[in-house]
Amino acid sequence: MAKKKPVPKVSGTADSRFVEQPITQTLERNYMPYAMSVIVSRAIPEIDGFKPSHRKLLYTMYKMGLLTGPRTKSANVVGQTMKLNPHGDAAIYDTMVRLSRGYGALLIPYVDSKGNFGKVYSRDMACAAARYTEVKLDAFCRELFADIDKDPVDMVDNYDGTLKEPVLLPTTFPNLLVNANQGIAVGMASNICSFNLGEVCDTAIANIQDGDHPIASTLIAPDFSQGGLLLYDREELGRIYETGRGSLRLRGRYRYLPKLNLIEVTEIPYTTTAEAIIDKVIALSKSGRLREVADIRDETDLQGLRIAIELKRGVDPDKLMAKLFKLTPLEDSFACNFNILVDGVPRVMGIREILNEWTGFRMTCVRRRMQYDLAQLQAKLHLLEGLKKILLDIDRAIAIIRGTEENDDVVPNLMVGFGIDEAQAEYIAEIRLRALNRELVLKRLQEVDSLRQEIDRIKDTLGSEEKLVGVIVEELRAIRARYPSPRRTEVLYDDRHAYVEEEQVEDYPVTLFYTQEGYLKKITPQSLRMSGEQKLKEGDRIAQVFETVNRAELLVFTSTQQVYKVRLHELEDAKASAMGLYLPGRLGFDEGELAVGIAVTADYEGFVSFYFQNGKAARVPLSAYATKTNRKKLSGAYSDKSPLVAVCQGMEEVVLRASSGRHLIVNPAMVGEKQTRSTQGLQVMALSARHRLEAVAPLAAFRFENPGRYRSRALPAAGALLTEADRGEVQLSIEAPAKVE
């Protein structure tokens, strides 16, 4: 017996009732139909390269005669398209704008436009209203609608059943790869980059002729309508071609005008806008990270994009542009995700798989077109063969017609008199007398032979897959020759001028003062010589002093096993009379997070030592905290088995003080080096269960009468209690600052 479905429980009062049902059932009934509709009928392109909204718009324009006729108002097209796409005029017009030549988003635009359609490279340049602009189909659209009236694709009813529309367009080339397409569905997305038309046609032909053809040999790299430069990465491109996923790096194009000391940016990455670039440059200039730019302006006009960047005196333009490529959207990435609907199922495919699917689709279109032509030719031949029988005895045919009393009996009498069928007899009965002259009769008889030859040729082609493939190849070659398409995006194979930020940093000696409350001062030697007493917050004291350089990096270790990294040149120079920079606020510490110690390095050479409350110590190389990218925070900076007491940099001897009052001098060299940051370290100070390590300070801060008393040849060691003479000295010097060079 079949299981009974659970009956939803109904509860509530007479005025307020609700139905209880499983959340999975609610999602299945209410959410899944919507999700599938977005995926299948809205956001993901199909093998012809179009989403439904694109296809409905272009087909409406085709039926309006806009492929050969004059332009019409955009509002007219929008209104007609609503017969197929009832999603509102604004959505339809936005779709038209993206497909237009004026907007510039596509390598091969489908809509020939007149008027202001905005620009893909501008965020703020809005298009004019639909009542002002005019459109028609671009001549290239002949390749999209080739023989569409010969039944190459299925036709379905529109939403109200009053019109027919194509399920797909019979594109004669792999349109899916030629124009960029982006869509966001529910739970999935699609982002297809554009490729050069000529390269796509060459690759499609080569792949048809050789299934193992190396794709990268003919499909060099993506090509974008915005031009610019593409940074060639053989491995990444190979991954994209193979799997349909990967990332491309795009870069703007510029020229330097030495007389004006000006840089002109004329092409930008496809993924950004001029306003986004200008806003980023202004923000960097205000923050002090970009001091080479005197002014930046958007001088875009009817001639195209132009961003003018004025340089300060003495600035190297190439080095500045390398820096802008690194820090602004002048260099950006395009994330590829070749997610395509095939037979209603979304699939992420590589280039070869896409070409194979398109070839199969195009084979079906060509076969159906030829079958339609064959049926038309056979029907015409059938009529002419009936005419041939009549023409052998035309006088008899005329006599039959003249001798027939009723008009409805003419066709039956001809069928009986000459042994022809109804279609042939109907055709003959409609022939005018003037068409029965000798010249026309001979031409009709000759046409029979040519029709038979054409029918035999079509049958021969339909019976051979090789010849069908040959038809597709010839169409691709014709498109390649008919529409020359030079590359717009230049491929940059060797980036010799990659930006290295450290080379651009102004370098000079600095002294860092770090206080117990977390304040930091970066002071130049000149300012330090002229300054007086250091200004500190009440109750605060200087904990560490470092002499370093402006290009070094500061590492701040916190109580939550995290290390914050900041480049010193990003911090403003200070004076002794200032309070300093509050690091927890500047670095964005988490709530309750405290700074335990800092380290400074310019090359990540050397070591840093961690001392824990349980008496253990760990020595880790600074290289363990080096990163290729400019990461601001690293987690798992040290072991979390015991609270951290102190962080010490270098190989200077330190003094450990336990809660029992014992002191121990430790040389960091006695602590074994560990490569992993999470190491628990070595037990250096022997502690009883009720005692813990309280403080760590450099040996230079103490003036012991007999330092050997507090040293040990082997670790762990318990240390020694202070002598009467040392006790007074320690209380004065234990709080002294540490100076690290």
Nearest-Å Rg of the Cα atoms of the chain is: 40
Q: Which of 554, 567, 485, 546 is nearest to 196 (CA)?
A: 485
Looking at the chain, the whole-number percentage of residues with pLDDT higher than 70 is: 93
How confident is the model at residue 741, as a pLDDT? Answer: 39
DSSP 164-224: EEESS---SS-HHHHS-EEEE-SS-EEEE--B-HHHHHHHHHHHHH-TT--GGGT--SB--
- CATH number for 320: 3.30.1360.40
Q: Please tell me which of 191-200, 435-444, 498-507, 721-730 the model is most confident about, judged by mean pLDDT.
A: 191-200
Please state, in angstroms and rounded to a whole number, the distance separating the CA atoms of residues 139 and 346.
31
Q: Which of 137, 147, 213, 142 is nearest to 175 (CA)?
A: 142
How confident is the model at residue 737, as a pLDDT? Answer: 41
684 within a domain of the structure (yes/no): yes
Residues 291 and 368 occupy one common structural domain: no
State the number of CA atoms in the 13 A half-sphere of 355 facing the CB: 28
- CATH number for 665: 2.120.10.90
Joined together, the tokens standing for residue 612 give: 């824990």
Joined together, the tokens standing for residue 258 give: 């030495």
375 has a pLDDT exceeding 80: yes
Q: Do residues 79 and 54 make contact, with C-beta atoms less than 8 angstroms apart? A: no
How confident is the model at residue 739, as a pLDDT? Answer: 41
208 within a domain of the structure (yes/no): no
Burial class (CB in 10 A: 0-12, 13-18, 19+), 395: exposed
Looking at the chain, the whole-number percentage of residues with pLDDT higher than 90 is: 49
233 has a pLDDT exceeding 70: yes
244 has a pLDDT exceeding 60: yes
DSSP 46-87: BTTS--HHHHHHHHHHHHTTTTTS--EEHHHHHHHHTTT--S
How confident is the model at residue 730, as a pLDDT? Answer: 56
Residues 538 and 628 occupy one common structural domain: yes
Q: Which of 640, 646, 714, 628 is nearest to 677 (CA)?
A: 640
Kindly report the number of other CB atoms within 10 A of residue 295's CB atom.
13
Residues 401 and 543 occupy one common structural domain: no
Residues 79 and 135 occupy one common structural domain: yes
Average pLDDT over residues 697-716: 85
Residues 607 and 667 occupy one common structural domain: yes
240 within a domain of the structure (yes/no): no
How confident is the model at residue 191, as a pLDDT? Answer: 94
For the segment 567-606, what is each residue's pLDDT rounded down to a tens digit?
888 888 888 888 888 888 888 888 888 888 889 998 888 8
10 within a domain of the structure (yes/no): no
Q: Which of 658, 556, 652 is nearest to 616 (CA)?
A: 658
- The number of domains in the chain is 4
Out of 170, 205, 240, pick the residue that ends a domain: 170
Average pLDDT over residues 244-253: 94
Q: Which of 239, 99, 93, 271 is nearest to 175 (CA)?
A: 99
Band of residue 167 on the pLDDT scale cut at 50, 70, 90 = very high
How confident is the model at residue 505, as a pLDDT? Answer: 63
Tell me how far apart the 2 most distant CA atoms of the chain are, in Å: 150
Lowest mean pLDDT among 242-246, 281-285, 539-543, 688-692: 539-543
498 has a pLDDT exceeding 80: no
Out of 416, 449, 482, pick the residue that ends a domain: 482
How confident is the model at residue 500, as a pLDDT? Answer: 53
Residues 308 and 406 occupy one common structural domain: no
Active site residue 519: no
How confident is the model at residue 43, as a pLDDT? Answer: 85
- Mean pLDDT over all residues of the chain? 87
Residues 629 and 714 occupy one common structural domain: yes
> Residues 583, 586, 590, CA angle at the centre, nearest 5°?
85
733 has a pLDDT exceeding 50: no
Please state, in angstroms and rounded to a whole number, the distance separating the CA atoms of residues 466 and 76.
45
Kindly report the number of other CB atoms within 10 A of residue 494's CB atom.
7
202 has a pLDDT exceeding 70: yes
Burial class (CB in 10 A: 0-12, 13-18, 19+), 302: exposed
674 within a domain of the structure (yes/no): yes
The one-letter amino acid code at 247 reads S
- CATH number for 380: 1.10.268.10
How confident is the model at residue 499, as a pLDDT? Answer: 55
Q: Which of 564, 667, 676 is nearest to 620 (CA)?
A: 676
707 within a domain of the structure (yes/no): yes
Examine residue 716 and say whether the peptide bond preceding it is cis (omega within 30 degrees of 0).
yes
Lowest mean pLDDT among 36-50, 209-223, 531-545, 671-685: 531-545
How confident is the model at residue 590, as a pLDDT? Answer: 86
58 has a pLDDT exceeding 90: yes
- CATH number for 144: 3.90.199.10
Which residue's entry shows tokens 């990268």?
216
Residues 382 and 448 occupy one common structural domain: yes
Residues 306 and 365 occupy one common structural domain: no
Pairing mode of beta strands 542-549, 738-740: parallel
Helices 317-327 + 274-287 axis angle, to 10:
100
Band of residue 135 on the pLDDT scale cut at 50, 70, 90 = very high
Residues 626 and 735 occupy one common structural domain: yes
202 within a domain of the structure (yes/no): no
Task: Supply the range of the domain harboring residue 285.
Answer: 253-329
Residues 146 and 101 occupy one common structural domain: yes
Residues 369 and 315 occupy one common structural domain: no
Out of 329, 364, 396, pick the residue that ends a domain: 329
Catalytic residue, chosen from 132, 159, 493, 508, is 132
735 has a pLDDT exceeding 50: no
18 within a domain of the structure (yes/no): no
Band of residue 127 on the pLDDT scale cut at 50, 70, 90 = very high
How confident is the model at residue 10, as a pLDDT? Answer: 53
How confident is the model at residue 732, as a pLDDT? Answer: 39
